[in-house]
Amino acid sequence: MTTRDWPLWEVFVRARRGLSHSHVGSLHAPDAEMAVRNARDVFTRREEGVSIWVVPAAAISASSPDEKDAFFDPAADKVYRHPTFYSVPAGVEHL
């Protein structure tokens, strides 16, 4: 084999108007145009989408799973950010 694989792309599909694009998987393609066409054939053969985004997998930066505890810790002790933290006197409505 002389040619190794094409670059990897992450694929996002908008299932229908009114929804955001969601990650559905990844595929290999030589360029962005082919990635969009391949994504149509791989992920929307049954009308699962009305719009497709493709992003080079190498262009994505992500938080590290090793640091996930420390990284997300600051939110863990701030229950007052949720409405259920507050007590409301009986009979008070629409609050």
Partner 1 sequence: MYGNHGTTSVPVDAPAADDPTVDRDFMALLDDDGRVEPRDAMPDAYRRGLVRQIAQHAHSEIIGMQPEGSWIGRAPSLKRKAILMAKVQDEAGHGLYLYAAAETLGVDRADLLDRLHTGRQKYSSIFNYPTPTWADIGAIGWLVDGAAITNQVPITKCSYGPYARAMVRICKEESFHQRQGFEILHTLSHGSPQQHAMAQDAVDRWWWPSLMMFGPPDDDSPNSARSMRWGIKRFSNDELRQRFVDMTAPQSHALGLSLPDPELAFDALTGHWRYGEIDFTELFEVIKGNGPLNAQRMAHRTDAHERGDWVREAALGYAAKHARTEAVA
Q: Which residues bind partner 1 (CB under 8 A)?
A: 1-6, 8, 10, 12, 23, 25-28, 30-31, 34, 41-42, 45-46, 55, 57-58, 60-62, 64-66
26, 12 in Cβ contact below 8 A?
A: no
**Strands ordered across the beta sheet of 21-28:** 21-28, 8-14, 51-56
* Nearest-angstrom CA–CA distance, 65 and 34: 31
For residues 45 and 82, which CB has a smaller minimum distance to partner 1 in the complex?
A: 45
**Smallest gap from residue 57 Cβ to partner 1 (A):** 4
For residues 19 and 22, which CB has a smaller minimum distance to partner 1 in the complex?
A: 22
* Nearest-angstrom CA–CA distance, 43 and 59: 21
**Smallest gap from residue 16 Cβ to partner 1 (A):** 17
